[in-house]
Every structure is written in structure tokens, then in C-alpha cells.
Amino acid sequence: MSDPECRDSATYAQSTERPSPGLLSIVIPCYNEEAVIEATHARICSIAPRLGMEMEIIYIDDGSKDNTLEKLKHLASGDARIVVLELSRNFGQQAAMSAGLETAQGDAVVIIDADLQDPPEVILEMIAKWRTGIDVAYGRRKSRDGESVFKLVSASIFYRFFAAMMPYSVPVDTGDFKLCDRAVVDTVCGLPEKRRYLRSLVPWAGFHHAPVDYDRDARTAGETKYSVFNLLSLAADALLLSSDKPVRIIWLLAILFAFIGASGLAVSLTSSTQTQTGVSAIIAVVGLFSAAQTTGIAIIGEYVVRCYREAQGRPPFIIRRKIN
Ligand code: UDP
Ligand code: MG
């Protein structure tokens, strides 16, 4: 955000040349992962020689109640590449990932879950994409092992509904497992909004995105941290933090009520029997009053959306690269 002409934008002078070897940061949010964290660490270390980059691993202990933090401290004591962030309590996966992104120093940053559902070997393909000039290489799930039918169906429906409700393009069948270039991380971390939902913010940032297809494994150990209630609350954040389409749906209701009221009015004015006139007059009054009220709510919604956008303070545009 430098020159006066573009003080409202975020500017990233960037070339597609990638630093060699460069530093890769791997961000891993952890909540009660004592059963799996050592296996995860060993697996990530096993790919380190093939990365072609220096590596730092940032573990975020998100207020675990088990021995995760002790295990992480133990791992860090013997390895200077490891950073452990201990959050003061459980703030949730999105906040934990944000803390990791803000701490990461890398030229590229990978976010990966602690439970080995996302195979670390896929990071090698993500780096290869990044080296060709892609800014976000995101994992796209070809298959998902070890998930219930309910989770598979609800996730599939949600991904598609979410993509349709977003005002910009969002990939489906994609979670948080992705590699982001430094410019993308700086953009997202530079946003003033406090509640970040990365699955919509990273696509919002723009830049060049490309999928890396992979098969998602079952959890190696431990269990999911998401109840149906948690998933619903996350879905609400996903939708309401980035889309104003829900407010626009109120306009559709207003139009529907107005149509019902107008039809009732037309029937009551043209009908021959008293009963028919009475019933359709009631429909007309109820429909038209509902339409008036819904329109009022929709107009207030439009103001709220605009105030909310200003409060979020996202820049109106981001420049990926300046030429000359
Ligand atoms: N996680 C976290 N804080 C939470 C919940 C989860 O840091 O409050 C981490 C968790 O340790 C894991 C990742 O977020 O590394 C994804 O969680 P989980 O595997 O339970 O989600 P699922 O794969 O079942 O959707
Ligand atoms: Mg998982």
C-alpha cells in the first residue's frame, strides 16, 4: 500500500521467478493431537530432503487439553526448524491457522492438518506448481477415506452451495491444505478484519490458483474435532463473512409476497361472489403488507451489508505485479 494513487489497494510487486532454494513454512494447527503428532512430524521430516527448499515447521497448539503441547515442546527441543506457538486457550482452527500464517517467514507457506489426512508428499507437487509461477496450489480431494456417508454428502453439498453463494470464484472439494506464495500470505495477513475464514479469503485475494488432485486418507489416530454444531457454525461464518447474497434473498421474498398480494387484489376486484371477494381481499392485504415489511428489511439489510464491508476494511483491489 505505497503510492498515493493506490493507497486504498494492496500492491505486491512480484515476479514469477521463485527464490532458490527459498524457505518453505509448514503451518500445522493442533488441538488434542497427542495420538498422531509424532507420526505427523516424522512423515513431514521424511520428505524434507526432497523439498528442494529450506524448511520451517510452525506447530500451533490451540489450547489442547491433552499432552500435545508437551510433545511439541519435546520435538522442538531437538530441532531448530520447529517453532511452537502456544495459544492461551482453544480459539478454533481458523484462528490457529491465522496465527501460523502471521508467524511464517517462508517464501511459500503450506497449511496442513495435524492428522495426516492430507498426505505430506503432496506438498512436493504443490512446490512444483509454485515454481512454475502459480501463487496458490490448493489440494483438491479426489476421494476421502474414512469419512461417514453423512459427512461425505453434507460436505459435497456444502462445497457446491458455498461456491454458488460466493461473489467470486471458489474451488469445490477443497479444504485448507494448500501452498500460498508469500504475496498471498501478506495480502491475507494484511487485512484488518479480525475473523478470518481462509477458505474464502485466499480465493478472494485472487492471484494465480491451480489445483493439485489427491486422495484424502482417513485420520491416522485420534478423532475429528468437529461436531455437527461446530460444522454448522463454521458454515455460517463461511457464508456470512464473505457473501451478501443471503441479504439479496430477502428481495426475492419481497417480490414473491408482492406477487401474491397483487394476485389477491386482482381476484377480489374481479370476483362475483362475496366469499371469493372476502378471501382474496385478505390474501391481498396480507401479501401486500408482508411485501412492504420484507422490502423494509431488505433495504436495511443493504445498508448493513455496506457498513459491514466498510468495517471489514478489505482493499477494493490488489495488484499482483507491477511491470516497469
Ligand atoms: N484444530 C484446531 N483447533 C480446533 C479444532 C481443530 O487447531 O479447535 C485442528 C486439528 O488439530 C487438525 C485440524 O484443525 O489439525 C483439522 O481438524 P479435524 O481433523 O478434527 O477436522 P476434520 O478433518 O475432521 O474436518
Ligand atoms: Mg482431519
pLDDT for position 16: 62
* Measured distance CA(3)–CA(164) in Å, rounded: 36
181 lines ligand 1 (CB under 6 A): no
What's the 300 CA to ligand 2 centre distance in angstroms?
40
pLDDT for position 113: 96
pLDDT for position 1: 36
pLDDT for position 4: 38
State yes or no: pLDDT of 2 exceeds 80.
no
What's the 225 CA to ligand 2 centre distance in angstroms?
8
Nearest CA to ligand 1 atom 21: 224
Among candidate residues 15, 5, 14, 10, the one with its CA nearest the CA of residue 318 = 10
pLDDT for position 205: 94
Quick one: 8 exposed, middle or buried, by C-beta within 10 A (0-12, 13-18, 19+)? exposed
pLDDT for position 86: 94
Question: Ligand 1 pocket test: which of 60, 71, 93 has the largest number of ligand atoms within 8 Å of its C-beta?
Answer: 93
- Whether 197 contacts 238, CB under 8 Å: yes
Assign domain 9-225+318-323 one CATH number from 1.10.1740.110, 3.40.91.50, 3.40.50.1980, 3.90.550.10: 3.90.550.10
Atom of ligand 1 nearest to the CA of 91: 8
144 lines ligand 1 (CB under 6 A): no
Confidence of residue 14 (pLDDT cuts 50, 70, 90): low
Flag the least confident range among 18-32, 33-47, 304-318.
Answer: 304-318
Question: Ligand 1 pocket test: which of 26, 113, 230, 233 has the largest number of ligand atoms within 8 Å of its C-beta?
Answer: 113
pLDDT for position 12: 58
224 lines ligand 1 (CB under 6 A): yes
* Measured distance CA(205)–CA(188) in Å, rounded: 7
pLDDT for position 134: 95
What's the 305 CA to ligand 2 centre distance in angstroms?
33
Question: Ligand 1 pocket test: which of 44, 115, 234 has the largest number of ligand atoms within 8 Å of its C-beta?
Answer: 115
pLDDT tens digits, one per residue of 240-296:
888 989 888 999 999 999 999 999 999 988 988 888 889 899 999 999 999 999 999
What's the 99 CA to ligand 1 centre distance in angstroms?
15
pLDDT tens digits, one per residue of 84-100:
999 999 999 999 999 99
114 lines ligand 1 (CB under 6 A): yes
What's the 224 CA to ligand 1 centre distance in angstroms?
7
177 lines ligand 1 (CB under 6 A): no
Among candidate residues 264, 183, 159, the one with its CA nearest the CA of residue 11 = 183
What's the 197 CA to ligand 2 centre distance in angstroms?
17
Average pLDDT value for residue range 137-141: 96
pLDDT tens digits, one per residue of 176-199:
999 999 999 999 999 988 888 999
Which are the contacts of 92, defined by CB distance < 8 A and separation ≥ 6? 62
State yes or no: pLDDT of 11 exceeds 70.
no
pLDDT for position 184: 96
Q: Residues of the chain with pLDDT > 90: what percent?
A: 64
Average pLDDT of the chain is: 89
* Measured distance CA(85)–CA(30) in Å, rounded: 10
Q: Where are the beta strands (DSSP E) in the chain?
A: 10-11, 23-30, 54-61, 82-86, 108-111, 136-144, 174-181, 209-216, 318-319
